[in-house]
Structure 1
Amino acid sequence: MRCPRCASSADKVIDSRVSKDGSTIRRRRECLDCGHRYSTTEQILRECLYVTKRDGRREDFDKAKIIYSLRRACQKRPVDAEQINILVEDMIDALEAEHGMEIPSNAIGEKVMENLKSIDPIAYIRFASVYKDFKNLDEFLDEISDLNTPKIL
Protein backbone atom coordinates (compact mmCIF):
# COMPACT_ATOMS: atom_id res chain seq x y z
CA MET A 1 0.00 0.00 0.00
CA ARG A 2 1.09 3.52 -0.71
CA CYS A 3 0.41 6.27 1.81
CA PRO A 4 -2.20 8.68 0.41
CA ARG A 5 -0.29 11.62 1.90
CA CYS A 6 3.39 10.98 1.02
CA ALA A 7 3.18 7.96 -1.38
CA SER A 8 5.60 5.93 0.71
CA SER A 9 5.14 2.17 0.61
CA ALA A 10 6.50 1.68 4.12
CA ASP A 11 3.58 1.13 6.47
CA LYS A 12 2.40 -1.08 9.29
CA VAL A 13 -1.00 -2.55 10.05
CA ILE A 14 -2.37 -1.26 13.34
CA ASP A 15 -5.74 -3.06 13.37
CA SER A 16 -7.67 -5.55 11.22
CA ARG A 17 -11.40 -6.21 11.37
CA VAL A 18 -13.46 -8.73 9.43
CA SER A 19 -16.92 -7.61 8.24
CA LYS A 20 -20.01 -9.29 9.67
CA ASP A 21 -20.52 -11.39 6.57
CA GLY A 22 -16.82 -12.30 6.37
CA SER A 23 -16.40 -11.06 2.80
CA THR A 24 -14.11 -8.08 3.52
CA ILE A 25 -11.34 -7.11 5.90
CA ARG A 26 -10.80 -3.51 6.98
CA ARG A 27 -7.23 -2.67 7.89
CA ARG A 28 -6.09 0.44 9.77
CA ARG A 29 -2.57 1.37 8.65
CA GLU A 30 0.11 3.85 9.68
CA CYS A 31 2.77 5.23 7.34
CA LEU A 32 6.25 4.68 8.78
CA ASP A 33 7.64 7.75 7.01
CA CYS A 34 5.09 10.50 7.76
CA GLY A 35 2.93 8.91 10.50
CA HIS A 36 -0.35 9.40 8.57
CA ARG A 37 -3.07 6.87 9.44
CA TYR A 38 -5.46 5.52 6.80
CA SER A 39 -7.82 2.61 6.19
CA THR A 40 -7.86 0.01 3.45
CA THR A 41 -10.29 -2.77 2.64
CA GLU A 42 -9.53 -6.19 1.27
CA GLN A 43 -12.08 -8.40 -0.47
CA ILE A 44 -12.27 -11.54 -2.56
CA LEU A 45 -11.97 -10.94 -6.29
CA ARG A 46 -14.41 -12.89 -8.39
CA GLU A 47 -13.02 -14.30 -11.60
CA CYS A 48 -14.55 -12.83 -14.75
CA LEU A 49 -18.28 -12.93 -14.09
CA TYR A 50 -20.36 -11.79 -17.05
CA VAL A 51 -23.95 -10.65 -17.42
CA THR A 52 -25.91 -11.79 -20.47
CA LYS A 53 -28.38 -9.07 -21.37
CA ARG A 54 -31.85 -9.69 -22.82
CA ASP A 55 -30.67 -8.64 -26.28
CA GLY A 56 -27.78 -11.15 -26.18
CA ARG A 57 -24.98 -8.71 -25.35
CA ARG A 58 -22.42 -9.71 -22.73
CA GLU A 59 -20.83 -7.29 -20.29
CA ASP A 60 -18.69 -7.53 -17.18
CA PHE A 61 -20.59 -8.13 -13.96
CA ASP A 62 -20.67 -4.91 -11.91
CA LYS A 63 -21.54 -5.41 -8.25
CA ALA A 64 -21.68 -1.62 -7.78
CA LYS A 65 -24.73 -1.40 -10.10
CA ILE A 66 -26.67 -3.80 -7.88
CA ILE A 67 -25.64 -2.02 -4.69
CA TYR A 68 -26.62 1.33 -6.20
CA SER A 69 -30.08 0.11 -7.23
CA LEU A 70 -30.64 -1.49 -3.83
CA ARG A 71 -29.62 1.68 -2.02
CA ARG A 72 -32.06 3.64 -4.15
CA ALA A 73 -34.88 1.18 -3.39
CA CYS A 74 -34.03 1.21 0.34
CA GLN A 75 -33.61 4.98 0.58
CA LYS A 76 -35.27 6.33 3.77
CA ARG A 77 -36.16 2.77 4.81
CA PRO A 78 -34.89 0.93 7.92
CA VAL A 79 -32.36 -1.11 5.92
CA ASP A 80 -28.70 -0.57 6.74
CA ALA A 81 -25.72 -0.79 4.41
CA GLU A 82 -24.50 -4.02 6.01
CA GLN A 83 -27.82 -5.75 5.19
CA ILE A 84 -27.47 -4.64 1.58
CA ASN A 85 -23.87 -5.88 1.38
CA ILE A 86 -24.79 -9.26 2.87
CA LEU A 87 -27.76 -9.56 0.48
CA VAL A 88 -25.54 -8.82 -2.52
CA GLU A 89 -22.76 -11.23 -1.50
CA ASP A 90 -25.24 -14.05 -0.81
CA MET A 91 -27.03 -13.34 -4.07
CA ILE A 92 -23.81 -13.38 -6.11
CA ASP A 93 -22.76 -16.67 -4.51
CA ALA A 94 -26.14 -18.24 -5.33
CA LEU A 95 -26.18 -16.92 -8.91
CA GLU A 96 -22.63 -18.08 -9.55
CA ALA A 97 -23.45 -21.55 -8.20
CA GLU A 98 -26.58 -21.77 -10.33
CA HIS A 99 -25.40 -20.18 -13.60
CA GLY A 100 -21.61 -20.36 -13.56
CA MET A 101 -19.59 -17.50 -15.04
CA GLU A 102 -22.37 -16.12 -17.31
CA ILE A 103 -25.39 -14.89 -15.42
CA PRO A 104 -28.57 -13.85 -17.26
CA SER A 105 -29.66 -10.31 -16.34
CA ASN A 106 -33.22 -11.45 -15.62
CA ALA A 107 -31.86 -13.96 -13.05
CA ILE A 108 -30.13 -11.09 -11.25
CA GLY A 109 -33.31 -9.00 -11.13
CA GLU A 110 -35.43 -11.93 -9.94
CA LYS A 111 -32.91 -12.85 -7.23
CA VAL A 112 -32.74 -9.25 -6.01
CA MET A 113 -36.55 -9.09 -5.76
CA GLU A 114 -36.73 -12.47 -4.02
CA ASN A 115 -34.24 -11.38 -1.35
CA LEU A 116 -35.54 -7.83 -1.02
CA LYS A 117 -39.09 -9.07 -0.42
CA SER A 118 -37.99 -10.68 2.85
CA ILE A 119 -36.02 -7.63 4.04
CA ASP A 120 -38.41 -4.74 3.32
CA PRO A 121 -41.69 -4.93 1.36
CA ILE A 122 -41.70 -1.20 0.51
CA ALA A 123 -38.17 -1.39 -0.92
CA TYR A 124 -39.28 -4.50 -2.82
CA ILE A 125 -42.19 -2.59 -4.43
CA ARG A 126 -39.88 0.30 -5.31
CA PHE A 127 -37.39 -2.04 -6.97
CA ALA A 128 -40.11 -4.10 -8.69
CA SER A 129 -41.80 -1.00 -10.11
CA VAL A 130 -38.58 -0.08 -11.94
CA TYR A 131 -37.48 -3.63 -12.80
CA LYS A 132 -40.88 -4.79 -14.09
CA ASP A 133 -41.55 -1.41 -15.73
CA PHE A 134 -45.17 -1.09 -14.64
CA LYS A 135 -47.23 0.58 -17.37
CA ASN A 136 -50.28 1.47 -15.29
CA LEU A 137 -51.66 1.57 -11.78
CA ASP A 138 -53.36 -1.84 -12.11
CA GLU A 139 -50.01 -3.60 -12.55
CA PHE A 140 -48.71 -1.79 -9.50
CA LEU A 141 -51.75 -2.78 -7.41
CA ASP A 142 -51.52 -6.40 -8.61
CA GLU A 143 -47.93 -6.59 -7.37
CA ILE A 144 -48.95 -5.17 -3.98
CA SER A 145 -51.84 -7.63 -3.66
CA ASP A 146 -49.47 -10.51 -4.56
CA LEU A 147 -47.18 -9.29 -1.80
CA ASN A 148 -50.02 -9.34 0.74
CA THR A 149 -51.28 -12.79 -0.31
CA PRO A 150 -49.68 -15.50 1.85
CA LYS A 151 -48.08 -18.33 -0.10
CA ILE A 152 -49.24 -21.84 0.80
CA LEU A 153 -46.54 -24.50 0.60
Structure 2
Amino acid sequence: MSPTHPGAGVRPGSGPSRPFTVFGLLAAVSAVVIAAVLIAPAVHPVVRANEAHIVGDEELMLQLLSFGHETRSGEPATAWAVEIVNGTGRDIPLTIATGCRVGFPPRRTEPLHAPEKVTVSPDEAHTRPDGCTGLAAGERFFYTVRFLDGQGGRAHPPVTFIGKSPPAG
Protein backbone atom coordinates (compact mmCIF):
# COMPACT_ATOMS: atom_id res chain seq x y z
CA MET A 1 0.00 0.00 0.00
CA SER A 2 1.18 3.49 -0.70
CA PRO A 3 1.33 6.14 2.04
CA THR A 4 -1.47 8.01 0.30
CA HIS A 5 -3.83 5.04 0.54
CA PRO A 6 -6.69 5.73 3.01
CA GLY A 7 -5.83 2.73 5.23
CA ALA A 8 -2.06 3.23 5.26
CA GLY A 9 -0.41 3.07 8.68
CA VAL A 10 -3.50 1.79 10.51
CA ARG A 11 -3.13 -1.56 12.18
CA PRO A 12 -6.06 -3.92 11.87
CA GLY A 13 -8.07 -4.22 15.07
CA SER A 14 -6.58 -1.21 16.77
CA GLY A 15 -9.17 0.57 18.87
CA PRO A 16 -9.18 3.87 20.68
CA SER A 17 -5.98 4.78 22.44
CA ARG A 18 -5.67 4.03 26.16
CA PRO A 19 -5.68 7.73 27.21
CA PHE A 20 -8.91 8.23 25.25
CA THR A 21 -10.51 5.20 26.94
CA VAL A 22 -9.47 6.39 30.41
CA PHE A 23 -10.72 9.92 29.65
CA GLY A 24 -14.03 8.56 28.36
CA LEU A 25 -14.52 6.40 31.44
CA LEU A 26 -13.64 9.31 33.74
CA ALA A 27 -16.10 11.58 31.90
CA ALA A 28 -18.87 8.98 32.20
CA VAL A 29 -18.30 8.47 35.94
CA SER A 30 -18.18 12.25 36.47
CA ALA A 31 -21.45 12.68 34.60
CA VAL A 32 -23.16 10.04 36.76
CA VAL A 33 -21.88 11.63 40.00
CA ILE A 34 -22.93 15.12 38.88
CA ALA A 35 -26.37 13.83 37.86
CA ALA A 36 -26.76 12.08 41.23
CA VAL A 37 -25.81 15.25 43.11
CA LEU A 38 -28.21 17.40 41.08
CA ILE A 39 -31.13 14.97 40.73
CA ALA A 40 -31.12 13.11 44.08
CA PRO A 41 -32.12 16.16 46.19
CA ALA A 42 -35.14 16.67 43.92
CA VAL A 43 -36.20 13.05 44.46
CA HIS A 44 -35.40 12.84 48.17
CA PRO A 45 -33.42 14.92 50.65
CA VAL A 46 -29.67 14.51 51.07
CA VAL A 47 -28.56 15.79 54.48
CA ARG A 48 -25.14 16.15 56.10
CA ALA A 49 -24.68 13.45 58.74
CA ASN A 50 -24.15 16.00 61.52
CA GLU A 51 -27.45 17.79 60.85
CA ALA A 52 -31.04 17.02 61.79
CA HIS A 53 -33.75 16.82 59.15
CA ILE A 54 -37.49 17.52 59.37
CA VAL A 55 -39.39 14.83 57.47
CA GLY A 56 -42.27 16.10 55.32
CA ASP A 57 -45.01 18.07 57.01
CA GLU A 58 -45.33 15.47 59.78
CA GLU A 59 -43.06 17.37 62.16
CA LEU A 60 -40.79 14.35 62.49
CA MET A 61 -37.18 15.21 63.17
CA LEU A 62 -34.54 12.67 62.15
CA GLN A 63 -30.88 12.77 63.19
CA LEU A 64 -27.82 10.57 63.70
CA LEU A 65 -26.21 10.51 67.16
CA SER A 66 -23.35 8.92 69.10
CA PHE A 67 -20.90 7.80 66.42
CA GLY A 68 -18.48 5.06 67.49
CA HIS A 69 -16.23 2.37 66.01
CA GLU A 70 -16.39 -1.40 66.41
CA THR A 71 -15.57 -4.60 64.57
CA ARG A 72 -18.29 -6.78 63.01
CA SER A 73 -17.35 -10.18 61.61
CA GLY A 74 -13.71 -9.10 61.46
CA GLU A 75 -14.46 -5.91 59.48
CA PRO A 76 -14.31 -2.31 60.67
CA ALA A 77 -17.68 -0.75 61.31
CA THR A 78 -19.02 2.61 62.37
CA ALA A 79 -22.04 2.55 64.66
CA TRP A 80 -24.50 5.31 65.50
CA ALA A 81 -27.97 5.86 66.88
CA VAL A 82 -30.88 7.06 64.74
CA GLU A 83 -33.21 9.36 66.63
CA ILE A 84 -36.74 10.18 65.48
CA VAL A 85 -38.58 12.90 67.38
CA ASN A 86 -42.35 13.31 67.01
CA GLY A 87 -43.36 16.98 67.19
CA THR A 88 -47.05 16.30 66.47
CA GLY A 89 -49.88 15.86 68.93
CA ARG A 90 -50.56 12.23 67.94
CA ASP A 91 -48.90 8.83 67.74
CA ILE A 92 -47.15 8.17 64.43
CA PRO A 93 -46.79 4.52 63.42
CA LEU A 94 -43.80 3.95 61.12
CA THR A 95 -41.97 1.12 59.47
CA ILE A 96 -38.31 2.03 59.04
CA ALA A 97 -35.81 0.38 56.68
CA THR A 98 -32.20 1.57 56.45
CA GLY A 99 -29.19 0.96 54.22
CA CYS A 100 -25.60 2.14 53.91
CA ARG A 101 -23.14 2.73 51.06
CA VAL A 102 -19.41 3.16 51.73
CA GLY A 103 -17.00 5.38 49.78
CA PHE A 104 -17.42 8.13 47.23
CA PRO A 105 -18.39 7.07 44.68
CA PRO A 106 -19.91 4.18 46.64
CA ARG A 107 -17.80 1.04 46.34
CA ARG A 108 -19.77 -1.14 48.71
CA THR A 109 -23.45 -1.31 49.47
CA GLU A 110 -25.13 -3.07 52.36
CA PRO A 111 -28.56 -4.52 51.72
CA LEU A 112 -31.43 -2.75 53.44
CA HIS A 113 -31.69 -3.81 57.05
CA ALA A 114 -34.92 -5.61 57.96
CA PRO A 115 -37.76 -3.12 58.38
CA GLU A 116 -38.63 -2.27 61.97
CA LYS A 117 -42.13 -1.23 63.05
CA VAL A 118 -42.24 1.54 65.63
CA THR A 119 -44.78 3.98 67.02
CA VAL A 120 -43.39 7.35 68.01
CA SER A 121 -45.53 9.01 70.67
CA PRO A 122 -46.25 12.77 70.67
CA ASP A 123 -43.33 14.91 71.87
CA GLU A 124 -41.25 11.76 72.39
CA ALA A 125 -38.08 10.46 70.77
CA HIS A 126 -37.45 6.95 69.45
CA THR A 127 -33.80 5.94 69.25
CA ARG A 128 -32.50 2.80 67.58
CA PRO A 129 -28.92 1.58 67.10
CA ASP A 130 -27.60 1.18 63.55
CA GLY A 131 -24.42 1.66 61.57
CA CYS A 132 -22.43 0.49 58.60
CA THR A 133 -20.15 -2.53 58.31
CA GLY A 134 -17.00 -1.98 56.24
CA LEU A 135 -16.92 1.71 57.17
CA ALA A 136 -13.57 2.58 58.74
CA ALA A 137 -12.65 5.86 60.43
CA GLY A 138 -12.28 8.69 57.93
CA GLU A 139 -14.26 7.04 55.10
CA ARG A 140 -17.25 8.65 53.41
CA PHE A 141 -20.69 7.08 53.67
CA PHE A 142 -24.27 7.46 52.48
CA TYR A 143 -26.94 6.26 54.94
CA THR A 144 -30.54 6.11 53.79
CA VAL A 145 -33.61 5.89 56.03
CA ARG A 146 -36.82 4.80 54.31
CA PHE A 147 -40.24 5.29 55.90
CA LEU A 148 -42.75 2.67 54.79
CA ASP A 149 -46.47 2.37 55.38
CA GLY A 150 -48.06 -0.82 56.71
CA GLN A 151 -48.24 -2.35 53.21
CA GLY A 152 -44.57 -1.74 52.31
CA GLY A 153 -45.27 1.40 50.26
CA ARG A 154 -43.55 4.73 50.82
CA ALA A 155 -45.03 6.75 53.69
CA HIS A 156 -42.54 9.64 53.37
CA PRO A 157 -39.68 10.39 51.00
CA PRO A 158 -36.47 8.64 52.06
CA VAL A 159 -33.72 10.71 53.68
CA THR A 160 -30.05 10.11 52.85
CA PHE A 161 -27.36 11.28 55.23
CA ILE A 162 -23.92 11.84 53.75
CA GLY A 163 -20.82 12.20 55.84
CA LYS A 164 -17.40 11.02 56.86
CA SER A 165 -16.90 8.52 59.66
CA PRO A 166 -15.24 10.32 62.57
CA PRO A 167 -11.66 9.47 63.52
CA ALA A 168 -11.21 6.61 65.96
CA GLY A 169 -10.17 7.55 69.43
Pairwise same-fold verdict (TM > 0.5): no
TM-score for both structures, normalised by structure 2: 0.24
Higher strand residue share: 2
Higher helix residue share: 1
Higher relative contact order (CA 8 A, sep 6+): 2
User: Which structure has the larger Rg?
Assistant: 2
